[in-house]
A and B are shown apart, each in its own frame.
Chain A
């Protein structure tokens, strides 16, 4: 089966600009996750969707970050306006359902904010 797809792979923006990332999960996977991985650290969950509903967004900085999952399939994560500390790799993952332990990760989008 095809893996989790993400685009773009790399993005460089200036602070205070906006940026959007796209994720297409594995077909049939109901649960989708966005993680932020700062260089040298483990991934940190930003938001979790079950179909097109939010399960957990407790660690999402809602003043600048937003995410949606259209029709329970693809998802976009947006940052507006970006700060220097947002420089990181943004990983998308999916699993068959909430409570399914195995998560499959995409290759990530490396964001550099200058």
Chain B
């Protein structure tokens, strides 16, 4: 069964901490994506990557960075976590053209206190 795995289901971090959210896919997909999901705002794209070491900003990249050193792994980094980054984070992957949509991970609920 193909899947996208997010390393943590729940995380609690302190303000100012550096936070890493990890995502691994086993489908040899070229594209990987990070979204944050907030009530009433839907899914908003933070960053995506279309190849190893390649990344593009999405709609809300401020306060975040990403890393893709291997094809199967895409990391989201909060350099200095703030309370307004408390949210649900969803990772997804797709082949080069997302004609069939994404495969999603099960999400990481991050709370910054």
**Chains A and B are bound partners:** no
